[in-house]
Amino acid sequence: MSRYTRLFDRLARERRGALVPFAVLGYPTPARSLAWIEALLPHADALELGLPFSDPIADGPVIQTASHEALAAGARIDSGLATVSRLRAEHPELPIGLLVYANLVYQPGPERFYRQVEAAGADSVLIPDVPAEEAGPYVAAARQAGLAAVLIAPPNAPEATLALIAKLGSGYTYVVSRSGVTGTERGAGRPQARLFETLRALGAPPGLVGFGISSPADVRAALAQGADGVIVGSSLIEKSRDPARLESHLHALAQATLRTVD
């Protein structure tokens, strides 16, 4: 049984949605990145970690800036995977996913890249600039390495695309709350309950909502529509230099994951 399966089974018993913080590996510097990520863990059910990339097209200005700062400070794939290895050694049951742009996978070759990721101790890889219709070779390489391949479900996806996501995806499904990029400047959208119902009927992995989740109200709204949890990034990075504000924000988000109705 995978770490994701154990997590979602446990959360169902606890009547909670998952709170999954996102962090850029190497931010604010490679030397300080582990401490920053560790600060998120008291309220984290899983982690999504991004390898910094020069042109993160799916990300808004906050995460773009964090990625550029990490690269300028010397962050690279090897240093990011070293941080993943340390997290895995210290937190053996924590699901850890990577968000990676396709160039970083394509350049060394998917097979080699996924072997490196598996050796570091990650559970899944999400490539936001590869749609489900083009994901086959990456999914095959991930499966060969024993990793989950996370796919993105857009808010306006036709049922044929959702069926493909259900067939190829594993770990969890990244449900986009709205069109555009990540960030808090526009707030979260409201994926329709029908989208989650369709994904479940097709047998897709549990759905986590991302893009614009920045407040307890956003969390509660996502869960009310049928999400199994949320991914939060930009609002955490904005508070990363103020430990007290960060802790208070994380606590409020975690409280909002408690389900009061079925």
Query: Both tokens of residue 19?
Result: 């709170």
* Count of CA atoms in the C-beta half-sphere (13 A) of 252: 14
216 contact partners, CB below 8 Å, separation of at least 6: 252, 253, 255, 256
Q: Which helix (H) or strand (E) holds 254?
A: helix 243-256
Q: Give the C-alpha distances (Å, rounded to integers) separating 174 from 8, 119, 240, 262.
A: 14, 24, 24, 22
Q: Which of 9, 38, 45, 59 is catalytic?
A: 59
Rounded to whole angstroms, what are the CA distances from 166 to 17, 52, 149, 157? 20, 28, 11, 12
Q: Pinpoint the alpha helices (H) of 91-147.
A: 102-106, 110-120, 136-145
The structure tokens listed for 198 are 């369709």
- Whether 123 sits among the annotated catalytic residues: the reply is no
**What backbone torsions phi and psi does residue 48 show, to the nearest 5 degrees?**
-120, 120
* Contact of 42 with 250, CB cutoff 8 Å: yes
Tokens standing for 141? Answer: 């390489």
Give the count of beta carbons closer than 10 Å to the beta carbon of residue 154. Answer: 18
Active-site hit among 45, 48, 123, 218: 48
48 is catalytic: yes
Catalytic residues: 48, 59
